[in-house]
Structure 1
């Protein structure tokens, strides 16, 4: 039986980063750590990249080797305990692609997301029928069960907008996403009406880049920037493409996509003009 898949969490990611930092401060290579502790080099790599959650005895061995003082040791052990918490992930999510379940986990813990989409309505703002049409169209070989699992996951993701401290969403779309009739006129009309409704929420900002803007920085593809309430948790970039999903953590990448998002925001219609456009298109579809 294959081992149970470890779903990344914000705390697991922070724990991995801290262990990398402690090893670096001790001026030890992974091979040095293996020699002194017996921890397999591959296992250490997986721990330091948040691919697995370390066992408590393994973590204690590392903290001993790095000569971590008592107060800081307690903080690191607390991260280990918190790393088990996986937000609102459901049991059936284990059937979803690994990177997508990782995205769901991070999104559930994020404080804000800045999302640019070139062809789709942003996932967290999609209706169930729109999501179903998108998934069927983009995954023509998927089984009915697989489609419904993804639809359910996408619909459940909207719960982050109804939390006591709701996720702050700033979404920008190319106008093309509004004109592509996904699922037929009725589905698109309901999707437009849903967008018009959610943009009235104080934690949701929606902008559209009009066709008249011409070429813009977002044309190469969609991306999501995630920010977390605790400043100890650095921002994260998520890319979804035909070549596969990818998370970027390097400061230079986060900064580059942040500048790109600001550029797109400047080229987009204002939130009020965006609402007027969406309302007009919804009316035309009636």
Structure 2
């Protein structure tokens, strides 16, 4: 396996699923694979759950045992080669959590993102000044260089919105996001103007969930659903929380969050009315 910290990428997750399926197709348990190849059972578990990248000789031993076709072998070897390449998060892995680094990698290759936010502007839409103010407040003891690295990660992530095949972003924000003064009037003015600019993009849909909407499904906290262009890559849910971030897979959980998002966007103002509310908030500043 590679170093102690293996940051998840789209290719690594796909390779893990492929190897798990190959073992099951071969009718072998992890214990049987371990006995026949000498690969530790714990290592097999970590490889099949994308917590570790297999070494090339380890992958070869597994593929030989599973008696896969030449085409399957070629696909697996290619996926491993791609998984060894640094992801979008590489430059920031020393300053962000492992889960957040994995999320950055997934986001960079996603087809679409459905994002609900309760308290702050989504990272993809933040200005540098706003990002620094949020990070400074939420992590007051963080070193200046670390703060700058985290803020820069958010700025660089935004490239997915302007690339040749841009990410399709659908954002629902609680009204508190545009009402709460973050970083002072100048910073907040710049942030609201940035939001108004983003509403003009064809690949961005933005809605505000007003206070008078009452209780709603998103009161538990922010979340993001990511969809990918390749059917081999299942959807993911990213959850932000004070106790730590989490990436969730599984049809049942994905469906639950999908239903929640559909309810939230139905309760929110239309994109046009939302833009009008943001513009009115900016005028007050």
Would the TM-score normalized by the shorter structure come out above 0.5?
yes
- Give the secondary structure class of the aligned counterpart of 2:240: strand
Distance 2:95 2:120 in 1: 24
Q: Find the aligned partners of 1:88 and 1:8 in 2 and give their Cα distance.
A: 11
CA contact (8 A) 1:9 1:85 kept: no
- Tell whether the 8 Å contact from 1:237 to 1:247 is kept in structure 2 after alignment: yes
The CA deviation string for residues 208-264 of structure 1, in whole angstroms up to 9 with x for no partner, is 100110000001100010111111100000111012111111111111111111111
Corresponding residue of 1:175: 175
For residue 95 of structure 1, what is the aligned residue in structure 2?
Answer: 95
The ranges of structure 1 where at least 4 consecutive aligned residues each deviate by more than 6 angstroms after the TM superposition are: none
Match of 2:276 in 1: 276
**Distance (whole Å) between structure 2 residues aligned to residue 224 and residue 92 of structure 1:** 20
Q: Distance in 1 between matches of 2:260 and 2:85?
A: 32
Counterparts of 1:79-228 in structure 2, within 5 Å, are 79-228=79-228
After TM superposition, the structure 1 = structure 2 runs for residues 49-68 of structure 1, keeping only pairs within 5 Å, are 49-68=49-68
Q: Partner of 1:43 in structure 2?
A: 43
For normalisation by structure 2, the TM-score amounts to 0.96
Q: Is the 8 A contact 2:115 2:170 kept in 1?
A: yes
- Three-state SS of the structure 2 residue aligned to 1:76 is helix
Q: Secondary structure at the match of 1:244?
A: coil
Instruction: Name structure 1 gaps, 5 residues minimum.
Output: none
Where 1:219 maps in the other structure, the secondary structure is helix
Cα-to-partner distance string for 1:62-97 (whole Å, 9 max, x where unaligned): 111112111222122221122123443343433322
Q: 2:218 aligns to what SS in structure 1?
A: coil
Offset, 1:26:
2.3
2:245 aligned with 1:266? no
> What residue in structure 2 maps to residue 18 of structure 1?
18
Cα displacement (A) at 1:4? 5.2
Provide the C-alpha distance between the structure 1 equivalents of 2:268 and 2:84, rounded to a whole number of angstroms: 40
| 2: CA distance, partners of 1:261 / 1:92 | 29
Q: Which runs of 5+ in 2 are unaligned?
A: none
Give the 3 Å change call, closer, same or farther, for CA 55–102 of structure 1 in structure 2: same
Contact conserved, 2:108 with 2:160, CA < 8 A, in 1? yes
Q: Which has the larger displacement, 13-22 or 25-34?
A: 25-34
How many Å separate the matches in 1 of 2:254 and 2:33?
Answer: 30
What is the SS of the residue equivalent to 2:89?
A: coil
> Which piece of structure 1 moves more, 213-222 or 101-110?
101-110
